[in-house]
């Protein structure tokens, strides 16, 4: 399988006055395969959003390379193809919604791509269906809940027919039910073949990924499948990250002599393990 996204020894420095310069990404190399679902975790300021913006071509590398489907983000003529291929969804849905009617908002991207009106209609309907928001197509976005608005923002990206979507903490401003709606939408898109890069600080969201990448001080310090990464409880705690609550609980129970598998990641797995003790 070929790579959807590839960074090679990527460096990014925010310029400013001499003493304000911050190197936010430091020789970071990451490959994301087509169809893969990668979660990126790391505490505040570790460089996650900077990485996302470098992949999307919003920022240009200070050193090293970023390729999106083999297109180098440094070449200005690639930028529209890159943004169409790798869409981005941000934290605050209110900052991403531009129109006063849901379906007009979703049509905004394809209109800018110069797509024919009949095809725009079809793309908008498909995108709204994919996130379960078709019945809200005629509504003003400001009447929707946070989770619904975020799903509209996702539909807006989907209408551009991306192969990859980079989510930068898309659930951070949502209530638990909104988070669940958005997470389900993301999982469904990945099942349909869209490559997902999901930046999150919710560990229970990261356990859904094929691979978890842990960032610290501008680089990757740990990566692997969720079981591999979250079994490193002490290492994660040392850099101020949580592990899923059930993983902590199974660790604690093990210390108390209750023999459970140490790599439990979900409540369902915990229930199964506990039932086997009876």
Ligand X SMILES: Nc1ncnc2c1ncn2[C@@H]1O[C@H](COP(=O)(O)OP(=O)(O)OP(=O)(O)O)[C@@H](O)[C@H]1O
Residues at the site binding ligand X, with contacts judged by CB under 6 A:
14, 22, 24, 42, 44-50
Q: What does 224 bind: Mg ion, ligand X, none (CB cut-off 5 to 8 Å by kind)?
A: none
* Alpha carbon distance 274, 278 (integer Å): 7
Binding site residues, Mg ion, CB under 5 A: 48-49
Nearest alpha carbon to residue 122 among 179, 161, 93, 180: 161
Nearest alpha carbon to residue 167 among 11, 60, 49: 49
Question: How many CB atoms are closer than 10 A to CB 92?
Answer: 15
Q: Is the CB of residue 63 less than 8 Å from the CB of residue 141? A: no
Q: CB of residue 27 vs ligand X: minimum separation in angstroms?
A: 15
Q: What does 44 bind: ligand X, Mg ion, none (CB cut-off 5 to 8 Å by kind)?
A: ligand X
Q: Is the CB of residue 66 less than 8 Å from the CB of residue 5? A: yes
Q: CB of residue 42 vs ligand X: minimum separation in angstroms?
A: 5
Residue 151: strand, helix, or coil: helix
Closer CB to Mg ion, 169 or 269, in the complex: 169
Closer CB to ligand X, 47 or 156, in the complex: 47
* Alpha carbon distance 194, 34 (integer Å): 8
Closer CB to Mg ion, 48 or 151, in the complex: 48
Q: What does 143 bind: ligand X, Mg ion, none (CB cut-off 5 to 8 Å by kind)?
A: none
Closer CB to ligand X, 14 or 80, in the complex: 14
Q: Which residue lies nearest Mg ion, judged by its C-beta? A: 49
Give every CB contact of residue 23 below 8 A, 6+ residues apart in sequence: 11, 12, 13, 62, 218
Q: What does 42 bind: Mg ion, ligand X, none (CB cut-off 5 to 8 Å by kind)?
A: ligand X
Q: Is the CB of residue 171 less than 8 Å from the CB of residue 96? A: no
Q: CB of residue 227 vs ligand X: minimum separation in angstroms?
A: 24
Closer CB to Mg ion, 49 or 56, in the complex: 49
């Amino acid at each position: 399988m070929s790579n959807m996204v590839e960074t090679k020894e990527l460096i990014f420095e925010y310029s400013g006055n001499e003493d304000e310069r911050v190197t936010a990404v430091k020789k970071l190399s990451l490959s994301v395969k087509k169809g893969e679902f990668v979660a990126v975790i790391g505490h505040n300021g570790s460089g996650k959003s900077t990485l996302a913006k470098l992949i999307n071509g919003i920022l240009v590398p200070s050193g090293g390379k970023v390729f999106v489907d083999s297109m180098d983000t440094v070449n200005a003529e690639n930028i529209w193809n890159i943004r169409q291929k790798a869409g981005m969804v941000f934290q605050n849905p209110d900052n991403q919604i531009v129109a006063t009617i849901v379906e007009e908002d979703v049509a905004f991207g394809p209109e800018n791509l110069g797509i024919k009106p009949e095809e725009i209609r079809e793309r908008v309907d498909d995108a709204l269906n994919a996130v379960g928001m078709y019945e809200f197509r005629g509504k003003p976005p400001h009447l929707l809940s946070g989770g619904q608005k975020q799903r509209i923002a996702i539909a807006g990206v989907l209408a551009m027919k991306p192969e990859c979507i980079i989510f930068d903490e898309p659930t951070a401003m949502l209530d638990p039910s909104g988070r669940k709606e958005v997470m389900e939408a993301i999982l469904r898109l990945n099942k349909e073949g869209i490559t997902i890069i999901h930046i999150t600080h919710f560990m229970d969201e990261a356990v859904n990924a094929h691979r978890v990448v842990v960032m610290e001080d501008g680089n990757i310090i740990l990566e692997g499948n969720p079981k591999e990464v979250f079994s490193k409880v002490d290492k994660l705690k040392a850099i101020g990250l949580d592990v899923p609550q059930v993983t902590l609980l199974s660790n604690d129970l093990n210390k108390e002599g209750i023999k459970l598998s140490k790599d439990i990641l979900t409540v369902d797995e915990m229930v199964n393990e506990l039932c086997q003790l009876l």
